[in-house]
Structure 1
């Protein structure tokens, strides 16, 4: 299934800190579009706190619903007590392209499995309350090929759909590279065909896959 609806992404980074039974928990949230950037951010936080006992993390690296781009780690904590609670908070937030890293400086007092779940999940929950988000539109690129006399017909359609003209080549005909929201793609193509009486060719340049 192709995701075409806009979704929320972080517009800033957040840090939240609390002490629980002498253990310090530092929660970091950051915008990470893609798994590579998510893993880079995890490494950055790990390098920032080399003396911490645990650097537990989770990420939702794309569209919130796409579990193929989720990841998590307990980083030495008992299985299921850190990474999964962190991921649960992220996936339930409806925010995409986000990574959470929770750094723990142990105070020597055991929290138990329930206490760990509450500490790791709760820190992310509190951090999520502070984060600012923006809406990200899912777009794709299309090539529009037309004769010169049809420019006055096509450009108003592009403007009406709030599409972006990325490039234009003026050869024996005109080739326009357009970026448009996937949500409006079919309606845009139909409008171009109708306005030009099917004298304009609209080609999809990106393979639309689940993201």
Structure 2
């Protein structure tokens, strides 16, 4: 998981481009796993079942060091659709993003160069208009504390955008905290002052 914030789609957006009577409908949105990406593609196919091609590319994770990326020409000549879509995504440096470009053939062949330009252009159109949010990396830490320390810790969590994911009560309180990565130093200061143990597993 990246420790740096990065831009990610804030919503799903569609833009249409017409090239020599072929319609290219580009749909962009946020995905955080291969499963979500496949579901996004299936939805696009379901929404435009009569289109000739549903070409796509996605990039998951920090665009500077992506966890995974994939693409498909979906029946177009090799290298003329998926790769241009992915190239534009990488150039825009957006993470957790998928673009599906749906093509309705207009009867005029575009040639390999024309296809590359059309798919890149459709992707560029939709990503240029796409509202972005900032993905804030989060981390999970386990803490061991006394019963009297739980309430102060919960108070700290509520002030720092942290969420208590799990609490187990035994001789001490075992608590799992999900928090923004940039809040970890502040948590370490807080726990040191309160005598709370952190385990980083």
Shorter-chain TM-score: which interval? Answer: 0.7 to 0.9
Residues 105-149 of structure 1 show CA distances to partners (whole Å, capped at 9, x for unaligned) of: 111211122211111001110111111111121112212111234
Mapped partners of 1:142, 1:68: distance in 2: 22
Mapped pair 1:129 → 2:125? no
Q: How does 1:128-167 map to 2 (within 5 A)?
A: 128-151=127-150, 154=153, 158=157, 161-167=160-166
Gaps of 5+ in 2: none
Gaps of 5+ in 1: 206-211
Mapped partners of 1:56, 1:188: distance in 2: 45
Query: What number of residue pairs does the alignment pair up?
Result: 201
CA contact under 8 A between 2:60 and 2:66: conserved in structure 1?
no
CA contact under 8 A between 2:66 and 2:95: conserved in structure 1?
no
Residues 64-102 of structure 1 show CA distances to partners (whole Å, capped at 9, x for unaligned) of: 234441011111212211111100111222221111111
Change (3 A) 1:76 1:149: closer
Pick which of 44-53 and 85-94 moved more.
44-53
CA contact under 8 A between 1:27 and 1:127: conserved in structure 2?
yes
TM-score (normalizing by structure 2): 0.87
Change (3 A) 1:48 1:65: same
CA contact under 8 A between 1:27 and 1:103: conserved in structure 2?
yes
CA contact under 8 A between 1:138 and 1:182: conserved in structure 2?
yes
Change (3 A) 1:14 1:162: closer
Mapped partners of 2:115, 2:172: distance in 1: 65
TM-score (normalizing by structure 1): 0.84
Aligned-residue offset at 1:50: 2.3
Aligned CA-pair RMSD: 2.2
